[in-house]
């Protein structure tokens, strides 16, 4: 994913959007190792500039913004929807709906490219329509 972000960021605005801020440092480290110029998204950002940069932040932080390319890692069904949120929920349907709306915020930030990364089954929050997705093996 980091190599894809670096390649795209050569001439585009790129965002790596995450479900939770707790994993942000891990992704920033990987992106820096891949040679990316990385900036963190914050909801209260005072300035916004376009430059070939990889922005990293949560779905919430990206609300109202657009990027040429959006990369969303961890789109595995065992990670999204959040298993903890489902476990503590007293209304599974509402929790799934809330999680789907949150993912919707992320996928609708992309102007031209959306890359979803998963290693197991794709999240159930996305439509099950084979012609919507192009599978690409990035393992080697």
Please report the pLDDT score of residue 140 as a whole number.
57
Residue ranges of alpha helices (H) inside the chain are: 2-8, 24-33, 83-88, 92-107
Q: At 80, which CATH number? A: 3.40.50.300
Whether 76 is in a domain gets the answer yes
Phi and psi for 71 in degrees, rounded to 5?
-115, 130
Tell me, yes or no, if the pTM score tops 0.75: yes
pLDDT for 69-104, tens place per residue?
A: 999 999 999 999 999 999 999 999 999 999 999 999
Mean of all residue pLDDT scores within the chain? 88
Whether 140 is in a domain gets the answer no
Give the number of domains in the chain.
1
Whether 82 is in a domain gets the answer yes
């Amino acid at each position: 994913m980091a190599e894809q972000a670096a390649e795209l960021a050569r001439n585009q605005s790129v965002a790596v959007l995450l479900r939770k801020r707790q994993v942000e440092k891990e992704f920033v480290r990987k992106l820096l190792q891949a040679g990316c110029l990385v900036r963190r998204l914050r909801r209260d950002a005072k300035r916004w500039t376009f430059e070939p940069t990889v922005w990293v932040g949560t779905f919430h932080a990206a609300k109202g913004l657009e990027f040429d390319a959006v990369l969303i890692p961890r789109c595995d069904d065992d990670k999204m929807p959040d298993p903890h949120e489902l476990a503590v929920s007293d209304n599974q349907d509402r929790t799934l709906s809330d999680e789907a709306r949150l993912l919707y915020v992320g996928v609708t930030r992309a102007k031209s490219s959306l890359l979803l990364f998963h290693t197991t089954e794709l999240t159930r929050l996305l439509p099950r329509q084979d012609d919507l997705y192009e599978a690409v093996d990035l393992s080697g």
